[in-house]
């Protein structure tokens, strides 16, 4: 049974399973609930280990983790966010623009730790197993790492907010990211005392959640 | 404290936290360990609910789930995989090609349920909050859904294998996927009795895991 490095597997206990679903369903994208408390280095290492345990195409592990903690650098990042956010706001009109203006979309300077998760598109060499027919699978692997970290963070009482409103060039310049590397996710991390019960954009009337049943097809696209 | 839809939050119990890390670290990409047993509809629904609970840019929820169960359709998909896999094998040379030939890379017909997770690039309209500066964030949201499902599956004793070796046009044709929709992940799902203790590609000598410490930078790219 345990030949070839195989180990017995099976379902978790009910309590363990419930914990997984709790993390999945209580995880939130945090903008305004960060506490200034520092994050323990042990906790941060566990979160990064969780990210590093993600699946990666051809075992390429294309990710890097840039920890951004200095207040000066976070100020620079926030300024870059503000520039992009002004551009973004202008893309909406009427009531949507007004509502957009009221949303707090980033906790860059409030969260004590920022983390840029990147994807090195050259990692693993010229030909990567599993990446031969879809070149974007390395980006996908990197996102798996982000989601692992996000769920682990929920269990640790650490909130995570993913900020994607940046001009790509700004993030590259401020963090010194080379051309062959893609900044996939810019995350704000910090302790949280409270979290939204439902996604904040739903709570604030920006949008509704879809019915899962409407998103499932049987055998082929569009067939129910 | 509970104003505005905010609820008290904080770290999970030690046992709950350990369960999260167990799922993260024991999750494997399954190729050859599928059992033929059917998956309970209740379990399948919980997995899809876990996927649907993923974060999505601007609450756009760009995903759909195509459940592929008919043996005929899975045969067609496997044939498409074999064509692409022959092309992929030819991209390697020498010892790598020999090792590649020995790897089992897909359990499409052995796994009783296949699942194509797609991203509708028009979901949420012309301008999506958070997608204004990086158009790929909808693809990233879809991958978060995949990783949620993958971890939930581990807890349920369901193995998951992500198959990415397809010509894009083949998958679209067989599953009837329209042009504005991207097939992000093709997953094989089934019960498993055993799992690799370490990633299979590591166990089989295809590659090694990197040291996490070498992947972490402080403040800027390249700085340790």
CB contact under 8 A, A217 and B66: yes
The arithmetic mean of pLDDT across residues B190-199, rounded, is 95
Q: What percent of chain B has pLDDT over 70?
A: 99
Quick one: pLDDT band at residue B2, thresholds 50, 70, 90?
very low
DSSP string, A6-58: EEE--PPPHHHHHHHHHHHHH--B-SS-B--PPPPHHHHHHHHHHHHTS--GG
Q: Which fold has domain B29-196?
A: NADH Oxidase (3.40.109)
Report in angstroms the alpha-carbon separations of A143 from A35, B67, B119, B159, B176: 26, 23, 14, 20, 26
The pair of structure tokens assigned to A107 is 């906790």
pLDDT band at B106, cuts 50/70/90? confident
CB pair distance less than 8 Å for B221 and A67: no
> What pLDDT is attached to residue A1?
39
Q: Are A19 and B20 an interchain contact pair (Cβ–Cβ within 8 Å)?
A: yes
Q: In the predicted model, is pLDDT for residue B3 greater than 80?
A: no
Which band of pLDDT confidence, cut at 50, 70 and 90, is reported for residue B4?
Answer: confident
Q: Where are the domains of chain B?
A: 29-196
- In this predicted structure, what is the pLDDT of residue B145? 98
Cβ neighbours of A47 in B, within 8 Å: none
pLDDT digits (tens, 9 = 90+) for B63-91: 999 999 999 999 999 999 999 999 999 99
Measured between CA atoms, the residue of chain A closest to residue B101 is: A129
Question: Given an 8 Å threshold on Cβ–Cβ distance, is B219 in contact with A1?
Answer: no
Average pLDDT over every residue of B25-41: 96
Task: Note the pLDDT tens digit of each residue in B118-174.
Answer: 999 999 999 999 999 999 999 999 999 999 999 999 999 999 999 999 999 999 999
Give the number of other Cβ atoms within 10 Å of residue B5's Cβ.
15
DSSP state of A4: G
Chain A nearest C-alpha distance from B217 (Å):
5
Number of H helices, E strands in chain A: 7, 7
**What pLDDT was estimated at residue A125?**
93
DSSP A199: -
Residue B182 pLDDT exceeds 90: yes
Quote the CA–CA distance of A201 and A198 in Å, as a whole number: 8
Cα–Cα distance for residue pair B159/B37, rounded to 1 Å: 12
Answer yes or no: is pLDDT of B22 > 60: yes
ipTM confidence score? 0.97
Alpha-carbon gap: A33 to the closest alpha carbon of chain B (Å): 9
**Rounded to an integer, what distance in angstroms lies between the CA atom of residue B222 and that of residue B224?**
7
Given a cut of 50, whether residue B1 has pLDDT beyond it is no
SS (H, E, C) chain B: CCHHHEEECCCCCHHHHHHHHHHHHHCCECCCCECCCCCCHHHHHHHHHHHHCCCCHHHCCCEEEEEECCHHHHHHHHHHHHHHHHHHHCCCCHHHHHHHHHCCCCCCCCCCEEEEEEEECCCCCCCCCCCCCCCCHHHHHHHHHHHHHHHHHHHHCEEEEEECCCCHHHHHHHHCCCCCEEEEEEEEEEEECEEECCCHHHHCCCCCCCCHHHHEEECCCCCC
Q: Which residues of chain A have pLDDT under 70?
A: 1-3
Q: Tell me if A164 and B131 make a contact (CB, 8 A cut-off).
A: yes
Please count the residue pairs, one from chain A and one from chain B, whose beta carbons lie less than 8 angstroms apart.
350
The whole-number pLDDT of residue A40 equals 98
């Amino acid at each position: 049974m345990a030949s070839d490095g195989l180990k017995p597997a099976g379902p978790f206990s009910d309590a363990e399973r419930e914990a997984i679903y709790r993390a999945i369903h209580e995880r939130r994208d945090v903008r305004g609930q960060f506490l200034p408390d520092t994050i323990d280095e042990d906790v941060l290492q566990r979160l990064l280990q969780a990210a590093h345990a993600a699946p990666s195409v051809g075992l390429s592990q294309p990710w890097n983790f840039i920890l951004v903690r200095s207040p000066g650098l976070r100020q620079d990042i926030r300024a870059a966010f503000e520039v992009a956010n002004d551009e973004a706001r202008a893309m909406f009109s009427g009531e949507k623009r007004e509502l957009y203006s009221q949303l707090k979309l980033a906790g860059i300077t409030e969260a004590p730790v920022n983390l840029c998760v990147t994807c090195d598109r050259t990692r693993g060499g010229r030909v990567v197993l599993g990446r031969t027919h879809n070149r974007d699978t390395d980006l996908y692997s990197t996102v798996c790492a982000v989601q692992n970290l996000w769920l682990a963070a929920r269990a640790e009482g650490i909130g995570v907010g993913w900020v994607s409103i940046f001009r790509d060039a700004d993030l590259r310049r401020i963090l010194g990211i080379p051309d062959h590397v893609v900044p996939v996710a810019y995350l704000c991390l910090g302790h949280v005392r409270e979290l939204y019960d439902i996604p904040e954009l739903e709570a604030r009337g920006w949008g509704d959640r879809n019915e899962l049943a409407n998103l499932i097809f049987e055998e082929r696209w569009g067939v129910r």
